[in-house]
Amino acid sequence: MINIIEITAEETAPIRHEVLWPNEPIDFVILPNDAIGRHFGLFLNETLISVVSLFVKHKEVQFRKFATCTEYQGKGYGTLLLNEIMRIVQQEKLSRMWCNARVNKINYYTKFGMRVTHTYFSKKGIDYVVMERKF
């Protein structure tokens, strides 16, 4: 059984850490503004396997720290979670959704109607591009 629900920032930390920055200390995945974010998780039979966090500012929303446990990747769970997030964004009449996408994920996010912008940067050896979808 699959459930997507709002969770706490603390609940996202183990998956963020294991999937995104396993070689950094766990504090590295805690965001200064986590307390004002909304965090969502996909549960498969009561086990949290995919997480994403939303930060709204001026009717625009940034999603951050999107991650699915390694052994569950490529099975469509991330797609379910991102589609649910898109549904919420549209329901709340936000005008733009954006993220700092790892460049190896450009094709993935394109499937969700997101487009690359001209803003590229690197962090800890990983290349990123800002991707966005306007509503």
Ligand X SMILES: CC(C)(COP(=O)(O)OP(=O)(O)OC[C@H]1O[C@@H](n2cnc3c(N)ncnc32)[C@H](O)[C@@H]1OP(=O)(O)O)[C@@H](O)C(=O)NCCC(=O)NCCS
Residues in the site for ligand X, rule: CB under 6 A? 19-20, 50, 66-68, 73-79, 101-102, 105, 107-108
- Select 43 or 108, whichever has its Cβ closest to ligand X: 108
Identity (one letter) of the amino acid at 5?
I
- Burial, 17: exposed, middle or buried (Cβ in 10 Å; 0-12, 13-18, 19+)? buried
Smallest gap from Cβ 2 to ligand X, in A, equals 12
To the nearest whole angstrom, how small is the minimum distance from the Cβ of residue 120 to ligand X?
13
Is residue 40 a contact partner of residue 13, using CB atoms and an 8 Å limit? no
**CA-atom Rg of the chain in angstroms:** 14
Q: Is the CB of 76 or the CB of 113 nearer to ligand X?
A: 76
| Closest approach of ligand X to the CB of residue 77, in Å | 4
The residue (of 4 and 67) whose beta carbon lies closer to ligand X is 67
- Give buried/exposed letters for 45-60 (b at 16+ CB in 10 A, else e): eeebbbbbbbeeeeeb
> Residue 1 or 93: which CB sits closer to ligand X?
1
